[in-house]
Structure 1
Amino acid sequence: MKTIILFILLFLTALPVSAQKDELRLPQANIDSMSYVKPSNVSIEHSDYALVAGGSKGIGYGIAEALAKRKFNLILIARHQDALDKAKERLEKDYQVHVELLKLDLEHESTADSIARWCTSKNIRLKMLCNVAGLGGPKDYLSLPLDSLRYMVRLNVESCMALTLTLLPLLEKNKPSYILNVASMAGLAPIPTKNMYSATKSAVIFFSYALRQQLRKKDISVSCLSPGPVFTKPEIVQYTKEQLGWFGMKMAVPPERVGEIAVRGTLRGKMMIIPGTLAKISSFFIRILPRRWVVSLYGTAND
């Protein structure tokens, strides 16, 4: 049993973090650069919208696509205009929904307030908030400068908290409504090689559980997506095939499937969403084992 658990932990730790930025030291974005595409012949106040922070690619795009299939209009937020434009073009063409674009860096303190003001000024009927944006990678605590670690904390935790709080009035106004926070299986246990990343994702999980209880009487459902490995890049697929073979390929879930599972679970009011049978089994063992065992096994697997 210990060998099986060790293999699972090795797998989860060794895989590159998916649906995250590749570099941690990022240029600062200017909050004044916020831009949007004005709706054409769309009556926003009579349309249901979902806002996806980090929705231009990866898991965020998978979630946006699953929402578009259900005829939600979308507000996509990301830092890169080209990725946003491509996402908008594809979603509007394939699903005949309207897509608004906000080019923003969610790390900035004033970004959440700016988004809330924009939504209010446009009379957006916000029915769902999806906090997907996050930051991770092969380097973590002891291997990164302090400013990069602070960026990770602000983007992974603070942006989720701030967007949720500032948009709550709109969600309550348009209830029943939904909040989907994206964490990770890494948030289920302390991981020495991903110290700050696992800590931030653990914070998102705890925040989601507590918020769900706080909003239970407001008709706002809170869910938390905690996926294992997700194939968002060709190199991740190749790495999995070479290093872990059949087990690795069976464990991974493609981003479009993750998005579908996440949206379906959120609309059904499910709290914890873990895509994939093997991931569910792995998460079960990770959660029932004593923390000191799990952190030791993670450490041993990466020595």
Structure 2
Amino acid sequence: MPYALITGASRGIGRAIATELARCGYSLLLAARSEDQLEQLATELRQRHGIAAHVYAADLAAPGAAGKLAYWAMAQTSELAVLVNNAGYGLWGRFEELPLDQQQNMLQLNMLLPTELTHMLLPQLRRQPKAYILNVASTAAYQAVPTLTLYAASKAFLLSFSRGLRYELRDTNVSVTCLSPGSTTTDFADRAGMNAQLQETANKVSMTPQKVAQQAVAALLTGEAELIPGTLNKVSAHLTSFVPKALTEKIAAGIYEKHLK
């Protein structure tokens, strides 16, 4: 039975992707910080879909976390066929005012963890009849976003990494897809430290994690290069190719920066 490894699987989009992959018949390796939430999800999906599910609870931003997770995953199965790099978060605020250690922690989780995991697990993915990598970026990957400056930059990295790796692997059994959701009803805003007014604005155009996950897994299994769920999100992201960068940055600042104290 093929397995899928999902980071950041305890909540939000990661949890929804895990559920959707279980529905498609994949057994699961679930990784995140919260052991209780992972165990609850694993039990639920075992009972509902008759798949195997194992949990790995750890701080995935800690030094050496990628190596430990990769070795654990390889010890669980030799049939790893899907890697979902979903773990990540944002920090809201001016770059010079946010603590540097917190920003470094975010970059470790958003960029280095998926890079290291992918490098370590590619040999096992290459041994499968067909394998898939899903990197979860954001519509923020398509432009600079003042007050989410490093978050947007980290997601731009993930988008570029996905496309470059996809091309390198074009003649292999491994397909790479980049998912770039817009506002989604998760705890992203709380984790990023956004105020209630900004969260309320975002919620007006938010998609559910379940809807994002359904589209993401369909795109993954059909080998799409990129997916931006939602018509408004697609239009907004593609417009950044035609609108001067200074203007898109001014618009983004008008949304986010004005709410800072």
- TM-score, normalisation: structure 2: 0.90
Q: State the partner residue of 2:183.
A: 229
Deviation at 1:204, TM superposition (A): 0.4
Q: State the partner residue of 1:120.
A: 74
One-letter amino acid of the structure 1 residue matched with residue 227 of structure 2? I
Q: Decide whether aligned partners of structure 1 residues 175 and 288 sit closer, same or farther in structure 2, where only a CA change above 3 A counts.
A: farther
Q: Does the CA-based 8 Å contact 2:184-2:209 persist in structure 1? A: yes
Larger radius of gyration: 1
Q: State the partner residue of 1:269.
A: 223
Which shows bigger deviation, 273-282 or 200-209?
A: 273-282
Inter-partner Cα distance in structure 1 for 2:24 and 2:88: 25
Same amino acid, percent of matched pairs? 34
One-letter amino acid of the structure 2 residue matched with residue 169 of structure 1? P
Inter-partner Cα distance in structure 1 for 2:54 and 2:31: 9
Q: State the partner residue of 1:49.
A: 3
One-letter amino acid of the structure 2 residue matched with residue 107 of structure 1? A
What SS class does the counterpart of residue 66 from structure 2 fall into? helix
Q: How many residues align?
A: 252
In the alignment, does 2:253 pair up with 1:299? yes
In the alignment, does 2:51 pair up with 1:84? no
What SS class does the counterpart of residue 147 from structure 2 fall into? helix
Q: Tell me how large the CA RMSD over aligned residues is.
A: 2.1
Q: Does the CA-based 8 Å contact 2:147-2:253 persist in structure 1? A: yes
In the alignment, does 2:2 pair up with 1:67? no
One-letter amino acid of the structure 2 residue matched with residue 124 of structure 1? S
Inter-partner Cα distance in structure 2 for 1:299 and 1:239: 15
Q: Decide whether aligned partners of structure 1 residues 243 and 114 sit closer, same or farther in structure 2, where only a CA change above 3 A counts.
A: closer
Q: Decide whether aligned partners of structure 1 residues 195 and 89 sit closer, same or farther in structure 2, where only a CA change above 3 A counts.
A: same
Q: Decide whether aligned partners of structure 1 residues 140 and 73 sit closer, same or farther in structure 2, where only a CA change above 3 A counts.
A: farther
One-letter amino acid of the structure 2 residue matched with residue 283 of structure 1? A
Q: State the partner residue of 1:196.
A: 150
Deviation at 1:240, TM superposition (A): 8.2
Cα deviations by residue, 1:176-235 (Å, 9 ceiling, x for unpaired): 1000000001111001110010010110001001010111122210000000010125x9
Find 1:167's aligned residue among 101, 121, 125.
121
- TM-score, normalisation: structure 1: 0.78
Q: Does the CA-based 8 Å contact 2:3-2:77 persist in structure 1? A: no
Inter-partner Cα distance in structure 1 for 2:223 and 2:110: 23
One-letter amino acid of the structure 1 residue matched with residue 105 of structure 2? Y
In the alignment, does 2:137 pair up with 1:183? yes
Deviation at 1:243, TM superposition (A): 4.1
Q: Does the CA-based 8 Å contact 1:133-1:155 persist in structure 2? A: yes
Q: Does the CA-based 8 Å contact 2:141-2:155 persist in structure 1? A: yes
Which shows bigger deviation, 125-134 or 135-144?
A: 135-144
Q: State the partner residue of 2:193.
A: none
Find 1:285's aligned residue among 224, 230, 239.
239
Cα deviations by residue, 1:73-129 (Å, 9 ceiling, x for unpaired): 000000111111111122112222111101122213422222222233333300100
Cα deviations by residue, 1:233-265 (Å, 9 ceiling, x for unpaired): 5x98x9689647xxx64x321001111111100
Find 1:106's aligned residue among 60, 78, 83.
60
Q: Structure 1: state its 5+ residue gaps.
A: 1-46
* Higher RCO, Cα 8 Å, sep 6+: 1
Inter-partner Cα distance in structure 2 for 1:196 and 1:240: 19
Inter-partner Cα distance in structure 2 for 1:226 and 1:140: 23
One-letter amino acid of the structure 1 residue matched with residue 220 of structure 2? T
Inter-partner Cα distance in structure 2 for 1:104 and 1:242: 31
Find 1:214's aligned residue among 168, 175, 180.
168
Q: Structure 2: state its 5+ residue gaps.
A: 191-195
Inter-partner Cα distance in structure 2 for 1:240 and 1:296: 17
What SS class does the counterpart of residue 74 from structure 1 fall into? strand
